[in-house]
Amino acid sequence: MLVSYHGHSVVKIETKGKTILIDPFINGNGQTDLKVEGLKVDVILLTHGHNDHVGDTVTLAKENDALVVAPFELATYLGWKGVNAHPMHIGGAHEFDFGKLKLTQAFHGSSYEEENQTIVYTGMPAGLLLEIEGKTIYHAGDTGLFSDMKLIGDRHKIDLAFLPIGDNFTMGPEDAAEAACYVKAKLVVPIHYNTFPVIEQDPHKFVNMLPDGAGKVLQAGDKIEL
């Protein structure tokens, strides 16, 4: 299984002949190496309804006949746009052909801004807990620090965790370092930073807050083999 990072919160997982994309914010993302044109994807996993996470989901899903998995309200909203969407909710798990997915808590918002200054509520935000090929991957989505992360770490042997460090909208580096202690992942990768001026951070400074070997900064396109 290959796991790669592509800027902001975009993560790609290649497993069992399938390509999974998490939060495919590509157009408008100056940190990514991906292009929507010609990008092949079988499954799209979404943490919440903000545009810097849903991003190019509708286009990619329609062009690839891809399955979109998202929290219930967001899945319903995307279904209305002609996307094949599977709804889930926090605490629920489901066995897919690519592996098992469970949604965890995330403390954030989730909404779409439409015309006439209308905000469409798209349900509670979530983190993603993936069990694939005997490995466990945790993508926290956008969230602040919360103590129940300890339960996630206690109940699951996490091999790889993606934690936001950008501050302002999510955890900053100090809180993310505490979150890393809670989830006890073998390896932590920082995400959701430097895409916009308000979330500029030094990811190496964050990694240096962790025990030796517990963190790794990935550039767009870098891969980890699990």
The total number of structural domains in the chain stands at 1
Q: Is residue 44 part of a domain?
A: yes
Q: Is residue 226 part of a domain?
A: no
Residue 149 is part of a domain; what is its CATH number? 3.60.15.10
Alpha-helix residue ranges (DSSP H) falling in the chain: 51-54, 57-64, 72-79, 149-155, 173-183, 203-208
What are the pLDDT digits (tens) for 76-92? 999 999 999 999 999 99
33, with CB counted inside 10 A (0-12, 13-18, 19+), is middle
Rounded to whole angstroms, the Cα distance separating 178 from 95 reads 30
Q: Is residue 224 part of a domain?
A: no
Spatial CA neighbour of 84 closest among 100, 96, 93: 96
Q: Is residue 212 part of a domain?
A: yes
Q: Is residue 223 part of a domain?
A: no
Q: Is residue 87 part of a domain?
A: yes
What domain range includes position 109? 2-218
pLDDT on residue 123: 95
pLDDT on residue 116: 82
| pLDDT under 70: residue ranges of the chain | none
